Structure 1
Amino acid sequence: MPRSATDRRRRRFPATFLIVLAMALAALGTPAFATSPAVRTTTAADASLPCDIYAAGGTPCVTAHSTTRALFAAYNGPLYQIQRSSDRAYRDVGVLAAGGYADAASQVSFCAGTSCTITKIYDQTSRHNDLPISWGGYWKGPGPNGSDVGADAMALPVTAAGHQVFGVKVTPGVGYRLDHASGVATGAQPEGIYMVTSSNYTNQWCCFDYGSGENSHTDTGNATMNAIYWGNACWFGGCTGSGPWVEADLENGMFHTNTGSNKDPNNPGVHHPFVSAWLKNNGTTNFTLKYGNGASGGLTTTFSGPLPNGYSPMKVDSSVLLGTGGDNSPSGQGEFFEGAMTTGYPSDATENAVQASITAAGYGTGGGGGGTPGPLRAVGAGKCLEVPGGSTTPGTQTQIRDCTGAANQTWSQSTAHELTVSVGGSRLCLDASGQGTSPGTKVITWSCNGQSNQQWTLNADGTVTGAPSGLCLDVTGAATANGTPVQLWTCNGQSNQRWTLD
């Protein structure tokens, strides 16, 4: 039943003419949005979000899961739930405004000085198909009584339209699942699925999935699953390239095609920081696989044809899963930002319009959370910039030390020109102390605040300069000993002012 007007958790408006316009433009190959993703804002008046588009196409969403943004223009409820380890308290992370992006700042403050786990991913539809941590299955997870575990809430910081948000980093053993979900396709009923993931973190094992699985959490035979698999698996052997690829987990096999393997020389693998992955299955005669760059462009169809032998008609069960296989195979890994499942077999025009909505969301690896993280190495000393002892105390002066690969030596550069580090569940920025602009100013860590003394330029000559001062990041006294502090100093071309961000 629809929620009342006072239920802020799940509200949506009927689809409007804007959705139809977006679909028509996408079908013509015309971008549905002219506004730059970096400045685009989403409000309840914007009816071009994925599940509004699916509804307008006659294939409504029956699940809508995301930790980054609303998937309905009118949605104004929680996106996901987190629990912090220090006191076991819970918090729901919602959106900044109806139809908008996640309020990640509430997570950052809630988790400061401790660690947090994603314990539930809310369904934005009125069906309440929320995903809790899976209780396990035939393959046992690493949690209590063989259950799976939740993802580290701070492990996947990214941006969407310049807003800091967090994805779900599925490491082996992480899994979410709801059995007997409401309204999802079962048996041979048609179904569409998409998710936004990444090429940055994959493996060849079973199974980083999103879609339909068995309520029993055991393998109940061919055709009892219909889920997107994303990874490097070549289940049937003889694949072209090394992946990762979009595949269909139909149980007892991840299928690139109806015969199993990928023989397409034009499909050796998909490599984008953000990838949209697509599967639709009419239950009897056809399944289709597609992918897209989650930041720009349209969709590529890698297969559309008959179901594999022995898989028609489908016998899909009503469990919804994320991160594991149908029998709880827990060894896959991947990243998840958003996804939805539909009733019916979505049209190409509908999927093209949803892809336009994804690219308009403005996913990026900078701004609030970081690009690909790595060590910031001091060339002259051959050592790494670190936060001493992994301190979460704002004002801690940074120093150099032998490179260990630890979190307190792992930095990310954002599109906002910040250099960020995540320690003890806290995200901190490299900061010129006291907004100083004179030689000798201490370089510290501080809570990220967007001010210019937290903006840095990585120059082609290896220097790192502060935005307001133009001074160079400098290892004090050109020393090479562990514990040498770092400061700002007049740029002089010496090796103690040269850095590499690996």
Structure 2
Amino acid sequence: MSTPVTSLRPRRRAIFTAAALLLAAGFLSAPTTVQAATSGPCDIYAAGGTPCVAAHSTTRALYAAYGGALYQIRRSSDNTTRDIGVLSTGGVANAAAQDSFCANTTCLITIIYDQSGRGNHLTQAPPGGFSGPAAGGYDNLANATAAPTTLNGQKAYGVYVAAGTGYRNNNTNGIAKGDQPEGMYAIFDGTHYNGGCCFDYGNAETNSRDNGNGTMEAIYFGNIKVWGYGTGNGPWIMADLENGLYSGVNAGYNANDPTVNYRYTTAIVKGEANHWSIRGGNSQSGNLSTFYNGARPNVSGYNPMKKEGAIILGIGGDNSHGATGTFYEGVMTSGYPTDTTENAVQANIVAA
């Protein structure tokens, strides 16, 4: 299945040209009207040579030319489902459609659609290797109205992950495997977290089992200290690389990984051959900071990596589902994005 970036109609060419100009200029400052009007995060990644291979959001389109469904909901009154799209092409979610459909009943988010065109949709996570309570069944689905937010003055809803909630796709298209390079970002609620394992978004095992060191590469957000942690009381942005949450080359404490608890937090993890990085910032203002940029952990099994290419949200690779958090949007890329590309993406996020 082709991706949106392969069909370069005149409008799309204009989008890529605008994004490419921003990147060529080393776009590091506050967002401009031009960028906010002409490009989405995945247009910027494509212009930087690292296109999105998965793009998930319940709040907005992540391509300027995307006008399809963002997510699907199911109401409890009659088990009917409905897709929720955008108010306009490239725009914010149609929250009014959800509110009308869910009036006087409860709705759950059943599918988070992949906007990249590769079909990497997220659905209810299946049972995995986790041996904790309720390990044998499918994970819970998120309450569709539990995480209201506002983008560009318009109401939208995020994905509220309570303990036991999780989404997954074990049969993906184009997600990095082995030691292939990739990047990813996610926007989280920096005030909603816990010390459970593990609130992740990113690359995981395709059989929902723990397959050993280096079989994952996902963003973790929370304040668990079992494997690794940073300064303060957390939460911290770390990388779940399987059998360890890492914030640097060493396991355990890393002083350069700060507590990050902005109401809206941008979290980034990216990796390539024996090199990876953690970045983060405030989704409402300012630029990104780099918390780690260096070699893979100095523990056997992480160089080379053995990524398997599944996608998870709200859970660990073995379906450990004791964590809480809120997700608004996130993408995964093919290739290792430059800092300049990510800085332009951050500016786009801030503009929204």
Q: Secondary structure of the equivalent of 1:106?
A: helix
Aligned residues: percent identity? 48
8 Å contact from structure 1 (residues 133, 177) kept in 2:
yes
Structure with greater contact order relative to length (CA < 8 Å, sep ≥ 6): 2
Closer/same/farther in 2, CA of residues 250 and 108 from structure 1, 3 Å limit: same
Closer/same/farther in 2, CA of residues 50 and 69 from structure 1, 3 Å limit: same
CA distance, structure 2, for counterparts of residue 18 and residue 201 of structure 1 = 35
CA distance, structure 1, for counterparts of residue 153 and residue 122 of structure 2 = 27
Number of residue equivalences = 343
Match of 2:28 in 1: 29
CA distance, structure 2, for counterparts of residue 360 and residue 79 of structure 1 = 20
Q: Secondary structure of the equivalent of 1:53?
A: helix
Match of 2:271 in 1: 281
| AA of the residue aligned to 1:20 | A
Closer/same/farther in 2, CA of residues 254 and 155 from structure 1, 3 Å limit: same
Q: Secondary structure of the equivalent of 1:16?
A: helix
CA distance, structure 2, for counterparts of residue 237 and residue 184 of structure 1 = 26
CA distance, structure 2, for counterparts of residue 88 and residue 321 of structure 1 = 25
Matched, 1:66 2:41: no
Match of 1:459 in 2: none
Match of 1:431 in 2: none
Deviation at 1:235, TM superposition (A): 2.8
Matched, 1:223 2:214: yes
| AA of the residue aligned to 2:32 | F
CA distance, structure 2, for counterparts of residue 188 and residue 129 of structure 1 = 20
CA distance, structure 2, for counterparts of residue 122 and residue 247 of structure 1 = 25
Deviation at 1:131, TM superposition (A): 0.4
Match of 1:305 in 2: 294
8 Å contact from structure 2 (residues 29, 347) kept in 1:
no
Deviation at 1:13, TM superposition (A): 2.8
TM-score by length of 2: 0.93
Match of 1:163 in 2: 154
Deviation at 1:2, TM superposition (A): 3.1
Matched, 1:323 2:292: no
| AA of the residue aligned to 1:233 | I
| AA of the residue aligned to 1:33 | T
Deviates more, 1:47-56 or 1:273-282: 47-56
| AA of the residue aligned to 2:29 | T
CA distance, structure 2, for counterparts of residue 313 and residue 20 of structure 1 = 32
Match of 1:174 in 2: 165
Deviations 1:260-299 (A, max 9, x none): 23432x64401211000000000x2111001010001000
Closer/same/farther in 2, CA of residues 17 and 32 from structure 1, 3 Å limit: farther
Select which of 119, 128, 132 maps to 1:137.
128
TM-score by length of 1: 0.66
Deviation at 1:258, TM superposition (A): 1.4
CA distance, structure 1, for counterparts of residue 58 and residue 105 of structure 2 = 20
CA distance, structure 2, for counterparts of residue 340 and residue 267 of structure 1 = 22
Matched, 1:246 2:233: no
Match of 1:18 in 2: 18
| AA of the residue aligned to 2:277 | T
8 Å contact from structure 2 (residues 230, 259) kept in 1:
no
8 Å contact from structure 1 (residues 195, 278) kept in 2:
yes
CA distance, structure 2, for counterparts of residue 313 and residue 18 of structure 1 = 36
Deviation at 1:23, TM superposition (A): 2.4
8 Å contact from structure 1 (residues 242, 268) kept in 2:
no
Select which of 77, 80, 98 maps to 2:68.
77
Deviation at 1:194, TM superposition (A): 0.3
Closer/same/farther in 2, CA of residues 142 and 18 from structure 1, 3 Å limit: farther
Superposition map of 1:208-219 within 5 A: 208-219=199-210
Q: CA RMSD in A?
A: 2.0
CA distance, structure 2, for counterparts of residue 315 and residue 140 of structure 1 = 23
| AA of the residue aligned to 2:21 | L
8 Å contact from structure 2 (residues 128, 136) kept in 1:
no
Deviation at 1:241, TM superposition (A): 1.2
Match of 2:141 in 1: 150
In structure 2, runs of 5+ residues without a counterpart are 5-10
Deviation at 1:34, TM superposition (A): 4.6
| AA of the residue aligned to 1:285 | N
